């Protein structure tokens, strides 16, 4: 879930304008709105409060010995991209979402250079740039010790563990030492980041930020100013997100009775999303009827796109043993049909349109469907006030109504923790 806020200056009556907001994927180059912590305190030289780890601090060598069996090398199956990660309770591996990208599994390596092979990706949270891999059953890897990021003060000693620019046959971890130079918060939702002067190099994304006792206090991922400083997502708010990802794949399930027939609307930056429930392995058939050209995306609840075959490859919808998991006629205009062989579980289906106007869609399925409810849908933007909302699932779009009189103007601003796109429509046509 991602938070955003929007504000409109002046309100007029008559014309109807629809405000559409949507979230897009996080990456290391995302421009995040940040603010500093109010009046940070700096302890005088020699004061033990300057570093929350003083008194029990370990040497860099001792810190590495504490974490060497908890940090891992993460590489894409094609070997074209890599990053870092760390092991937590239950055999799960945590890394950045932009490290995993859209891959369904990742190559995992130990700090001693030995490999675990391919491990499945369980869930991806694009809002907080988190990904969960596993679980693994390997006694040689240990859960990383948990620290409290809230205890970090300005000047606290921290160490960043990861695999920067690693392209050798036996990846070797690097330990970079630095200090906390600032504590920052994202302006929306007060999500805390730790700014450190330790460089976050390519390949260190997903690495562990460690305090002087060898405990996790953050996960690296953002670099600014040609490596002048880096931002690590604080560990305290990370844990609830990770627990949600373990439980439900990072996405809250819709409630209410299931249906085998649905109706909705799609259009410019307006999507229709619902869950598809598969009780036992077998064939799945979902038919999307529309007079306009639409697209369909099939994902796990963890945000992992299920492999597909395009109609240009399989024009007669023939499937044999070992074929990709589903077929959809993306290159044929009009409605779409999903023909799939899926394992038991709950999947997310997202439908969008290639049109400039809003169009109706009808969905029929042999499997139960449930629509995601959106509490922001159809609300009115109040004058001279800030409203806040949430992007509740991948590719969610929120629409707000803004009445205007002819010839008068309104200024609309929108901000969010993830990339936010602002679109204005008049009579279902995009005008700005």
pLDDT tens-place string over residues 154-204: 888 999 898 876 566 677 888 888 888 776 655 444 567 787 776 666 667
Instruction: Return the pLDDT at 71.
Output: 95
**Confidence at residue 231, expressed as pLDDT on a 0 to 100 scale:** 76
What is the rounded CA–CA span in Å between residue 289 and residue 277? Answer: 20
Is residue 190 classed exposed, middle or buried when 0-12, 13-18 and 19+ CB atoms within 10 A define those classes? Answer: exposed
Q: Which two tokens stand for residue 59?
A: 């040497």
Predicted confidence at residue 15, as pLDDT, reads 40
Q: Which residues of 92-105 are buried (b: 16+ CB within 10 A; e: fewer)?
A: bbbbbbbbbbebee
CATH code of 34-247, in short, is: 2.40.10.120
Q: What is the H or E stretch that residue 239 is in?
A: helix 235-248
Distance CA 286, CA 260 (A): 9
Q: And the tokens for 352? A: 């969008």
pTM value surpassing 0.95 = no
Segments of 187-329 assigned E as strands: 192-196, 208-211, 216-224, 229-234, 259-266, 272-278, 282-289, 294-300, 308-310, 326-328
Q: How many CA atoms lie within 13 A of 41 on its CB side?
A: 10
CATH of domain 259-371: 2.60.120.380
Nearest to 200 by CA among 339, 132, 99: 99
Token code pair at residue 20:
């559409």
What pLDDT, on the 0 to 100 scale, is given for residue 7?
Answer: 54
Q: What is the DSSP letter of 190?
A: T
Residues of the chain falling short of pLDDT 70: 1-56, 127, 165-169, 183-191, 198-203, 222-229, 248-253, 255, 302-305, 307-334, 373-378, 388-396, 415-420, 427-430, 432
**Domain residue spans of the chain:** 2-26+375-430, 34-247, 259-371
Lookup: tokens for 368:
């139960």
- Distance of alpha carbon 237 from alpha carbon 329, whole angstroms: 42
Whether 70 and 86 have beta carbons less than 8 Å apart is answered as: yes
237 neighbors 130 (Cβ within 8 angstroms): no
Fold agreement (34-247, 259-371): no
HSE value, Cβ hemisphere, 13 Å, CA-based, for 318: 4
* Distance separating alpha carbons of residues 122 and 100, to the nearest angstrom: 11
């Amino acid at each position: 879930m991602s938070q955003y806020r929007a504000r409109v200056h002046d309100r007029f009556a008559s014309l109807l304008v629809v405000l559409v907001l949507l979230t897009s994927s996080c990456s290391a180059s995302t421009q995040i709105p940040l603010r500093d912590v109010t009046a940070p305190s700096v302890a005088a030289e020699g004061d033990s409060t300057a570093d929350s780890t003083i008194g029990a601090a370990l040497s860099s060598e001792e810190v590495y010995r504490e974490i060497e069996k908890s940090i891992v090398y993460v590489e894409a199956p094609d070997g074209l991209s890599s990053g870092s990660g760390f092991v937590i309770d239950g055999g799960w591996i945590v890394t950045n979402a932009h490290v995993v990208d859209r891959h369904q599994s990742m190559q995992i390596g130990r700090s001693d250079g030995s490999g675990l092979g391919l491990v499945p990706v369980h869930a991806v949270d694009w809002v907080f740039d988190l990904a969960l891999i596993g679980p693994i059953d390997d006694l040689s890897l240990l859960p990383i010790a948990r620290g409290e990021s809230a205890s970090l003060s300005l000047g606290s000693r921290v160490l960043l563990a990861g695999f920067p620019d690693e392209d050798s046959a036996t990846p070797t971890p690097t330990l970079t030492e630095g200090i906390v130079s600032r504590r920052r918060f994202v302006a929306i939702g007060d999500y805390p980041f730790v700014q450190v002067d330790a460089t976050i190099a390519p390949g260190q994304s997903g690495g562990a930020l460690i305090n002087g006792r060898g405990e996790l206090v953050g996960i690296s991922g953002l670099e600014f100013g040609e490596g002048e400083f880096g931002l690590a997502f604080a560990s305290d708010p990370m844990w609830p997100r990770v627990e949600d990802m373990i439980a439900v794949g990072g996405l809250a399930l819709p409630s209410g009775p299931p249906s085998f027939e649905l109706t909705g609307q799609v259009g410019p930056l307006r999507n229709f999303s619902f869950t598809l429930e598969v009780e036992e392995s077998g064939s799945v058939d979902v038919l999307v009827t529309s007079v306009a050209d639409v697209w369909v995306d099939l994902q796990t609840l963890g945000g992992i796109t299920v492999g597909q075959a395009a109609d240009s490859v399989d024009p007669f919808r023939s499937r044999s043993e070992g074929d990709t998991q589903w077929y959809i006629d993306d290159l044929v205009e009009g409605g779409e049909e999903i023909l799939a062989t899926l394992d038991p579980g709950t999947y997310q289906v997202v439908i969008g349109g290639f049109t400039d106007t809003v169009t109706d869609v009808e969905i029929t399925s042999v499997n139960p469907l449930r629509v995601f409810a959106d509490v922001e849908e159809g609300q009115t933007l109040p004058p001279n006030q800030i409203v806040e909302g949430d992007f509740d699932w991948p590719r969610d779009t929120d629409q707000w109504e803004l009445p205007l009189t002819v010839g008068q103007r309104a200024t609309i601003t929108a901000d969010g923790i993830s990339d936010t796109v602002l679109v204005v429509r008049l009579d279902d046509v995009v005008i700005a």
